Amino acid sequence: MADLPPLAALRVFEAAARRGNFTRAAEELGMTQAAVSYQIKLLEERSGGPLFRRAARHVELTDLGRQLAPAVREAFELIRDAFAGVRAQAEGSLIISCVPTFATQWLARHLGTFQLFHPKLAVRVDTSGQVVDFSQDTADIGIRSGKGHWPGLTSHLLLPASFTPMLHPDLVASLGGVREPADLLKLKIIDPSDPWWPLWFDAAGVPCTDLDTRTQTRLGAQILEANAAAAGQGVAILTPWFYRDEIERGRLVQPFPLTCDDGSGYWLCYPPARRNSPKIKAFRQWIVGMLQAEMAD
């Protein structure tokens, strides 16, 4: 690799040879004519002789220049073609890393609409609770839960994560009704270690000191806790917006109107360098627009 001339000088030579004019080459490359002349001089020093004959209003290739020009032009065409192929492949697929609850309760139900607008874009959803490392992973974008503070990433809030207790109607009936928040403590609490529980009970004015002593059952994702609650296994603390269908069908009830918010939410994230990628712009505009419309209803 040490024998190769500087790529910048070869790029200037290719443009000057194609244009036959240093000024036009400079305009194409966004350089000054002096910078073009300097790069040509560097290349001539490396090649061992002049590459151009200077005329009044143009330049002509010397024998040495004519020998070099086709190979340089072909090399740049190969690079352009290879880059175009890679870019076309990358822009032809969209890989989304998404937390399970959002993927199950919203994205999977609406993604077909996005694909109707972008039929040539292959979409893959990788469901994981792990924080994706964009420098190592193949994901193009992520949908994460949290407070939106991830260094080195651009984040757009999609949905605030408000929370409230929810349970199956039969479990409510087993107590003869749930009339006040303290009644919930008579039931099994699904994942009592969830930090949302003490926040909600405190807002409800209920002293709650026994959560740490209860059997700790962690399911690892809100959607799993919701399924357990819908099966009558206990009371879960959930984001009710995700479970509107379950409430309508009678699989879950929200016994109290009180909801709390600790600043968490669901966020669309990606590296800032990718913000102008057409596929990312398309997905961002679609998902933000869809969710804004739904929340306005």
Q: Which of 174, 296, 178, 166 is nearest to 223 (CA)?
A: 166
Task: Give the pair of three-digit tokens for residue 114.
Answer: 């996005």
Please list the residue range(s) of the chain that carry CATH number 3.40.190.10.
Answer: 93-160+264-296, 164-248
The predicted structure's pLDDT at residue 88: 52
Task: State which fold the 93-160+264-296 domain adopts.
Answer: D-Maltodextrin-Binding Protein; domain 2 (3.40.190)
Whether this prediction's pTM lies above 0.75 is answered by no
Please list the residue range(s) of the chain that carry CATH number 1.10.10.10.
Answer: 7-89
Query: Phi then psi for 264, rounded to 5 degrees?
Result: -80, 165
The predicted structure's pLDDT at residue 1: 47
E-state strands within the chain: 52-54, 59-61, 93-98, 122-127, 141-146, 154-160, 164-166, 236-238, 265-270
Q: Is 35 exposed, middle or buried (0-12, 13-18, 19+ CB in 10 A)?
A: middle
Rounded to whole angstroms, the Cα distance separating 71 from 75 reads 6
Q: What is the pLDDT of residues 35-83, one digit of tens each?
A: 999 999 999 888 889 999 987 788 889 999 899 998 998 888 778 766 6
Rounded to whole angstroms, the Cα distance separating 129 from 86 reads 30
Would you list the DSSP string of 180-243? Answer: SGGGGGGSPBSSTT-THHHHHHHHTT-----GGGS-----SSHHHHHHHHHTTS-BEEE-GGGG
- In the CATH scheme, what architecture does the domain 164-248 have? 3-Layer(aba) Sandwich (3.40)
- Tens-digit pLDDT profile for the chain (297 aa)? 457 788 889 999 999 999 989 999 999 999 998 999 999 999 988 888 999 998 778 888 999 989 999 899 888 877 876 665 566 555 688 999 999 999 999 999 999 999 999 998 999 999 987 777 887 778 899 999 999 988 889 999 999 999 999 999 999 998 888 899 999 999 999 999 999 999 999 999 998 778 877 777 778 889 999 999 999 999 999 999 999 999 999 999 999 999 999 999 999 999 988 888 889 999 999 999 999 998 887
For residues 61 and 17, the answer to whether their CB atoms sit within 8 Å is yes
Rounded to whole angstroms, the Cα distance separating 202 from 216 reads 20
Report the CATH number of the 7-89 domain. Answer: 1.10.10.10
Task: Give the pair of three-digit tokens for residue 261.
Answer: 């918010």
* DSSP three-state, residue 98: strand
The predicted structure's pLDDT at residue 86: 61
- Cβ-proximal residues to 177 (8 Å cutoff; 6+ apart), any chain: 183
Q: Count other C-beta atoms under 10 Å from residue 99's C-beta.
A: 23
For residues 94 and 283, the answer to whether their CB atoms sit within 8 Å is yes
